[in-house]
Structure 1
């Protein structure tokens, strides 16, 4: 190595301080975190000995630590040129090049380092990271394993090996590696964050919280830890905590696509679809080639009522990552909604081929059509049930609902109910729902929409005849009703839209109070603007359509508001046997909301809330304000009921309305498979199969039913 003589004093230092002594002092400053003092001393050394390779190397390391990677690389390149046999210099240069994305240089320097020092665990590990960034997992893994053979307690190599195993889908192996790191170095923040993340991927959010909560407390400015913690809360359906965490992560690290994904998912769960889409698009500005972002956007667009755009988003996601399971599942559900059952099945089966343990794919396959004896998917689910006791709740929950559907289809009703009930119990533990709050909402709606208020506000509104609303209890026949209407050449079926509920909660764009308090002080002029705002949203979905349906069942809560906003709109209320309606809700794992559905007593209370509110609308609105149809009558006399319904809507009869199951349109609802076949009557009085299990529900419904 070309270095100055040891007796040369460092400039500005005492005459007794030689350059080796000055270097020693610089190392001490650096080791103690006094970077400015170390840098100052090194620069003085280099004034006297500009070719001092060790000084250049340490100065480059300090530049990198200060965030100036380009300068760090330049200084290390000079050091390597002066001392080409120093493996440490080459290894550190490789790592800096890697961080700058100069991966070919990183690998070249890393290979040179281990050729000089094959026994250097650090050099082996650094080379492994460069290979990892190149996507060469085999070489990356071999490097980390050689590093650990040399130093079995090397935290960096264990952490890196964990990340490789995670990418190889060996999540238990990854978890073990990260736990080993923390056993050796309890304060290793990156390993703790990685462990929390892979525990979330393994659907163990409770275990993830044990790791991530202390980490965030110790490292409050660690963006990745906040994002991983938010993911754990999202898996537990603690949406407010999850939203806070993702927003905190983005405040700390604005260019963070993973946090954008998480925030988009939370906002979608909260039904804030415009904000969810904005978060996904923000992520795509940062990382346009991130497949998961396109997949998340596809789900949001599906729910927002834009199936063509959703299809394009899924197509892009799968072109970027042909092994993206969420992309196949999302596109499969979209294909189901569009009536392409064969395509949906193909997507679900492909997702399952990528991960045989994926319960989401198995649950989806169960929903495609009726399960028959000897069904291979059912056999796999039944086999999985042997491990139900040991499965994390997040996995056991969908498995119970899938088994319930299997046993119901094969007419083993007692077994089916057992699984439905256990699935509902697990789901109820995870959600925040208050039947008392629902009762108060009901009272508040009836209080605001008094006869006096309605009479005072009536007379304006938007005069458009474009909308046809189909509303009622979920699972009451609203999908069937809308599909019959959408089979008419003049009608576009837009499905379940959140637009009315969004306008009700934010009538002036923003509101500090939820509906109906949000409407305090509302004027006729504002009601007209709200109606026009709604119609504009409809027209964006189907420009040029004469009539557009909105089949959001929960719009029954806003029926009076719809009447005032859109006095010429047609409103169809679908009624169904109360017990069949409630049972159909109880036996369905909804994608989002419908939180009242997972407890028989709460479900009965909700039905009573709905029935009381509909009775209120009958009392305070004109007799022709809405049209009512009975599901059981529609099933028994499809043509007669359909003709009467079309007549109410001012539409001429078309035979296509009898062949509704052939209509090509998107159907975004739990009833998607039922309306892809002709009307059948097996769903009428279906509750009799489960009667012995429904006592709590029947008691709450009381006078609303005939036993």
Structure 2
């Protein structure tokens, strides 16, 4: 078997109560108390009351965002926007909160789709409002629709060249299509504007990283963290930039920061698994990978990293088992071929060949060849015409 690897997707009993004779009055009193406490908790959680103005609740949402409580920020701004559709500031904060939240764990990509759906509806209602167009551009680029995002951002900048979010969105859109120099020039405009703040500093870090200036990217994201030190997205990006510079300690600190704020975060566990694999800290890698697959059993990438570590340790039976979970999940979830981690097939095939598991090897090879044909992929797994395990 000859395999060429051109891609890697690396990127973490109830007890029964005795029956009793409680009076109806007591039961009703307890139920009323529970209901009162419940409604009080809900009101406190949403921080909304009939007497509060939308501006008051928007300030509460902004504080929630600054404190890293994006769930509350989304709840508040969504209710404001639904109740007061002229509150464009609520729309902007809602979309920003959704997009930042979408990067906080492995299963939050739907937040980016929701953000785009919201801005799409808003642009139908306010087709010429500059802030609406700018936040629509911000949502478009986050959903990999860079060309349309750039068009909306340019329309805003043609009328208001110093519009901060439009400049940020245009820079990010340039970066999405590989225009890294253009992105850097655009983001320099954004960071030079008064009150540039979090979005601009984060976009600057992304641009610097795209240009290979990893130390500068790390410094830029640290500045973004001074604007808001509780956004998990920034710590994940800081971990990436630290790894690009070879600073495993800084990367570890970043992922530990995520776990300090969110102890159940699966994405941080997988990043620690990947980092431990790179450092060849095998026991630590297995611990983090096993935690990741236990907490997120439908996440194919977590199974890949677990199988990969077993493969590197020479435990090919375990490797084949866990890599099979990775490939099977991607098929069951109908992941587009171009977005699949093909290493789940390639490495699993190597393990199957070592294990002399011809049936599994033939199945894997046929699946891989079908994907190559359907997606017109480069041929990276080659056997003689008669196929694997031929006499």
Query: Is TM (by shorter chain) over 0.5?
Result: yes
Aligned to 1:177: 76
Aligned to 1:129: none
Aligned to 1:250: 157
Q: Classify the secondary structure of the residue corresponding to 1:286.
A: coil
- The question of 1:587 aligning with 2:343 is answered yes
Q: d(CA) in 1 for partners of 2:63 and 2:160? A: 24
Aligned to 1:382: 293
Aligned to 2:139: 232
Which of 358, 361, 364 is the equivalent residue of 1:693?
364
- The question of 1:164 aligning with 2:72 is answered no
CA gap of 1:428–1:274, structure 2 versus 1, over 3 A, is same
Aligned to 1:271: 178
- Measured against aligned partners, the alpha-carbon deviations of 1:103-141 in whole angstroms (never above 9, x if no partner) come to xxxxxxxxxxxxxxxxxxxxxxxxxxxxxxxxxxxxxx9
Aligned to 2:383: 705
- Measured against aligned partners, the alpha-carbon deviations of 1:634-672 in whole angstroms (never above 9, x if no partner) come to xxxxxxxxxxxxxxxxxxxxxxxxxxxxxxxxxxxxxxx
Unpaired runs of 5+ residues, structure 2, are 1-42, 103-110, 311-317, 355-359, 373-378
**1:32-71 map, 5 Å:** none
Q: d(CA) in 1 for partners of 2:270 and 2:290? A: 13
**1:274-423 map, 5 Å:** 274-287=181-194, 290-318=197-225, 321-323=228-230, 325-356=232-263, 360-370=267-277, 372=283, 375-385=286-296, 399-410=299-310, 411-420=318-327, 422=329
- The question of 1:428 aligning with 2:336 is answered yes
Task: Count matched residues.
Answer: 309
TM-score (norm 1): 0.38
- Measured against aligned partners, the alpha-carbon deviations of 1:275-321 in whole angstroms (never above 9, x if no partner) come to 11112211111147625533433333233233444344345444555
Does structure 1 conserve the Cα–Cα contact (< 8 Å) formed by 2:66 and 2:228? no
Does structure 2 conserve the Cα–Cα contact (< 8 Å) formed by 1:295 and 1:326? no
Aligned-residue offset at 1:215: 1.4
CA gap of 1:230–1:308, structure 2 versus 1, over 3 A, is same
CA gap of 1:329–1:177, structure 2 versus 1, over 3 A, is closer
Does structure 1 conserve the Cα–Cα contact (< 8 Å) formed by 2:266 and 2:296? no
Does structure 1 conserve the Cα–Cα contact (< 8 Å) formed by 2:232 and 2:258? yes
- Measured against aligned partners, the alpha-carbon deviations of 1:480-514 in whole angstroms (never above 9, x if no partner) come to xxxxxxxxxxxxxxxxxxxxxxxxxxxxxxxxxxx
CA gap of 1:228–1:373, structure 2 versus 1, over 3 A, is same
Q: d(CA) in 1 for partners of 2:222 and 2:73? A: 31
Q: Classify the secondary structure of the residue corresponding to 2:207.
A: helix
Aligned-residue offset at 1:158: 3.6
With CA pairs under 8 Å and 6+ residues apart, which has the higher RCO, 1 or 2?
A: 2
Aligned-residue offset at 1:192: 3.8
- Measured against aligned partners, the alpha-carbon deviations of 1:304-349 in whole angstroms (never above 9, x if no partner) come to 2334443443454445555454554344333323333333323332
Does structure 2 conserve the Cα–Cα contact (< 8 Å) formed by 1:401 and 1:587? no
Which of 101, 126, 144 is the equivalent residue of 1:219?
126
Q: d(CA) in 2 for partners of 1:354 and 1:218? A: 38
- Measured against aligned partners, the alpha-carbon deviations of 1:369-404 in whole angstroms (never above 9, x if no partner) come to 336488553344234326x5xxxxxxxxxx431332
Aligned-residue offset at 1:423: 5.0
Unpaired runs of 5+ residues, structure 1, are 1-140, 389-398, 432-582, 589-599, 604-681
Aligned to 2:30: none
TM-score (norm 2): 0.63
Aligned to 2:5: none
Aligned-residue offset at 1:172: 3.3
CA gap of 1:200–1:344, structure 2 versus 1, over 3 A, is closer
CA gap of 1:703–1:310, structure 2 versus 1, over 3 A, is closer
- Measured against aligned partners, the alpha-carbon deviations of 1:413-456 in whole angstroms (never above 9, x if no partner) come to 3333433554586663897xxxxxxxxxxxxxxxxxxxxxxxxx
